[in-house]
Structure 1
Amino acid sequence: MATKANSVPIPTLISVDPFVPADQQKGLHNRWHPDIPPVVTVKPGEAFKIECVDWTGAQIGNNDTSDDVKNVDLTKVHNLSGPVAVEGAEPGDALVVDILDVVPFEKMPWGYTGIFELTNGGGLFAKEFNSKACKAIWDFEGIYATSRHIPGIRFAGVSHPGLIGTAPSASLLATWNAREGALIADPAHAEAVPPVAFAPNAVGAYVGQDEASVDGETRERIAREGARTIPGREHGGNCDIKNLSRGSRCYFPVFVPGANLSVGDLHFSQGDGELSFCGAIEMIRYSLLLGTTQAGIITFKTSIIKGGVEKFALKQPIFLPSPIDPLYSQKVIFEGISVDYHGDGKQYNMDATVAYKQAALNAIAYLMKLGYTREQAYLLLSAAPIEAHVGALVDSPNACVTLAIPTGIFEHDILPKPEGLTKQNFGQCAIRSDGVV
């Protein structure tokens, strides 16, 4: 017989409101720093839920213009829930995290994908497209997403955290700031737009704990020294790996006592590369279990692997992807090589980023033949479960990268035919109120 005693729910340890600005809520922070204290402590083996706001902290709305994307304050991102300390975790250990589930709030069954301004965020094609703000709102229907801004598309999401990681030590933080500072200071990057890196910036820095936990002097030091959350680093961070969906297992290096795990930037779906900067379908809730080396979901035990950094040569996290993936067997695959044939024709030497960009531009050109605008195609490749693979990195001078689009996400036929492609009118995504794209 089922009873309350044998049906204990998984507790929610950090609660947030997706409709309230992040800097008005507790249990959140938007910088990496070892002096940010944990907001909660758990024992290995405990299952628990964490709620997250979207990465911008409720700056983007469900509407039909992209003015909010154009004017977004990027000094305030990403808004992470945590830190969560794990009893017994010490520097040099490996923290094992099993992801049990990732779901949106019931009261907010939608998300968004955005193209950001060239001078405010950018994206993979910021310069090539002289990017202007655009967005698509996606409605969630169970495991599927559809958008009024990109008609004719319906796909199953691979929900995952875009950003998850442990806190850095003071020495690791100093290393980050030194090496990224040197990159910024390099005269070769003086005119870079978007910037090549984001230095610590006290403007917009936020630590949600009250004064009893973080005094004014410590808060100022965190704001002054704290690493921005934009890139991924040795601790994990903003790596945007779409296959870290429910059922995944993560092994993180521990740099501070308790590990101090934080998570945010939740995605309903994303393509490999998240090419438009806010390329995934951003959404809002997360549930995880600190894991063990034992297989299983929900019913496992947890352990901290003592000395795991040395045992596994854990310079960066190791991930075991989820066994759950949408079954899209047929794909149209586009190839790219390290020649800028969509631009000035320059030959690059084994540059996989150039090759990826050419594959993506080939796909965008193809989708435009079907009737999608360049902006819609850019957003679609960012949000849908496309797959990118490195084909070859040995055949000088051309690296080869492929980008695969599942045909099953379209409501119409997109396969090449002798008579050519059928072009339809799919309108346009949400653009700025001044009409500039």
Structure 2
Amino acid sequence: MEFLEFEDMGWGWTAVLPGFGLLADEGYTSPVDLAGPALKLWNVKEGTARAKFGELSVRLPISPFPGVIGTALPSKGRFSTIPPRENGGNMDIKHLNTGSKLYLPVFVRGAMFSIGDTHLAQGDGEVCGTAVEAPMRIKLRVNVVKRAGIREPLFVTSGVREFSKYLAFPGMDSNMWVATKKAVKSTIAFLSGYMEPVEAYMLASTAVDLKVSEVVDQPTWIVTAYLPTEIFEEKLEFPRPS
């Protein structure tokens, strides 16, 4: 299928939901409370989502995509829609934007295709559990490719807009899950100098890209969190004076 057009309604939201997200099991307590609930509303106009995070004004270029898109699973039963699977589902891949082509395996007669959970913008990782969520109308072209031989999703994309400058936070550990958490915590710690920690968590989810930087120098893995500095109207200080 090819994604042709996304039409937003001029607004979006990001939230921290108790018990959900990368750091939900960390047991944060006051004054560093990331448990939520917390909500941030975005105003969307002329291709940009805007919101205030503490003392910073944030402008995110939007690149709409569906968080959930898939066909029916090959087995019968009741399944949670949270984890993605071989049929697609809740993949939350921001590169499935306008112009991209996605190929999904068909396991049952009629495919039982579905799509939803539309996002205006998201950091790779969606760490707090939500992106810039928003209602949308989607136009796409669907074709059936017989005997394609795929058993899991694959896609072709021209990518999303890249920024010219980032502040990056490497997380290092022998466990990649722990390394990821370290990178996100470092990002939150820095941003918390400008906003509440739970706001920093939401901003990381919508704007910060997680990338695997290194996997071969065992036993240490590196996951780096990339914060684009161009999204802020104000100039960030780093290191920030205490």
1:5-404 map, 5 Å = 97-105=1-9, 109-118=10-19, 122-128=20-26, 129=28, 131-148=35-52, 150=54, 151-169=56-74, 171=75, 173=76, 225-277=77-129, 279-291=130-142, 303-309=143-149, 314-323=150-159, 325-338=160-173, 349=174, 351-369=175-193, 371-384=194-207, 386-404=208-226
CA distance, structure 1, for counterparts of residue 45 and residue 136 of structure 2:
16
Structure 2 counterpart of 1:285, which letter?
M
**AA matched with 2:127:** L
Secondary structure of 1:359's counterpart equals: helix
TM-score, normalized by length of structure 1? 0.51
Distance 2:229 2:153 in 1: 33
**Partner SS state of residue 21, structure 2:** coil
Whole-angstrom distance in 1 between the partners of 2:2 and 2:123: 22
Residue 12 (structure 1) aligns with:
none
Task: Report what 1:421 is aligned to.
Answer: 240
What's the offset of the Cα at 1:132? 2.4
CA distance in 2, matches of 1:227, 1:258: 19
* Cα distance in structure 2, aligned partners of 1:274 and 1:377: 13
Q: Give the one of 205, 222, 231 matched to 1:409.
A: 231
**How many angstroms does 1:252 deviate by?**
0.4
- How many pairs were matched up? 235
CA contact (8 A) 2:52 2:58 kept: no
Alpha-carbon distance between aligned partners in 2 of 1:255 and 1:162, rounded to the nearest angstrom: 21
Instruction: Give the aligned residue type for 2:43.
Output: D
Is the CA contact (8 Å cut-off) linking 1:110 and 1:137 kept in structure 2?
yes
Q: Is the 8 A contact 2:15 2:38 kept in 1?
A: yes
State the SS of the aligned residue for 1:103.
strand
Deviations 1:85-123 (A, max 9, x none): xxxxxxxxxxxx111122213xxx2111111113xxx21
- Give the Å deviation of 1:356: 1.2
* CA apart distance, 1:289: 2.5
Q: CA deviation at 1:368?
A: 1.6
Letter in 1 for 2:203: L
Q: Secondary structure at the match of 1:390?
A: strand
User: Hey, what's the Cα distance between the residues in 1 that align with 2:167 and 2:178?
Assistant: 20
TM-score by length of 2: 0.90
Distance 1:415 1:307 in 2: 55
Bigger fraction of residues in strand: 2
User: RMSD value over aligned CA atoms?
Assistant: 1.8
Query: For residue 177 of structure 2, what is the amino acid of its counterpart?
Result: T
Alpha-carbon shift at residue 305 of structure 1 (Å): 1.9
Answer 1 or 2: which has greater helix percent: 1
Distance of 2:47 and 2:147 partners within structure 1: 39
- Structure 2 stretches lacking a partner, 5+ long: 30-34
Q: Distance in 2 between matches of 1:125 and 1:110?
A: 27
Query: Could you tell me whether the CA contact under 8 Å between 2:36 and 2:198 is conserved in 1?
Result: no
Whole-angstrom distance in 2 between the partners of 1:415 and 1:318: 40
* Secondary structure in structure 1 of the residue aligned to 2:125: coil
Whether the 8 Å contact between 1:252 and 1:317 is mirrored in structure 2 is yes
- Does the 8 Å CA contact 2:214/2:222 hold for their aligned counterparts? yes
CA contact (8 A) 2:53 2:195 kept: no
Shift of 1:238: 0.3
Gaps (5+ residues) in structure 1? 1-96, 174-224, 292-302, 339-348, 424-437
Identity of aligned residues (%): 34
Which residue identity is paired with 1:421?
R
Which residue pairs with 2:32 in the alignment?
Answer: none
Letter in 2 for 1:239: M
Q: CA deviation at 1:327?
A: 4.2
- The superposition leaves residues 284-314 of structure 1 with CA deviations (integer Å, 9 ceiling, x where unpaired) of 11323335xxxxxxxxxxx4221112xxxx2
Q: Distance in 2 between matches of 1:337 and 1:227?
A: 34
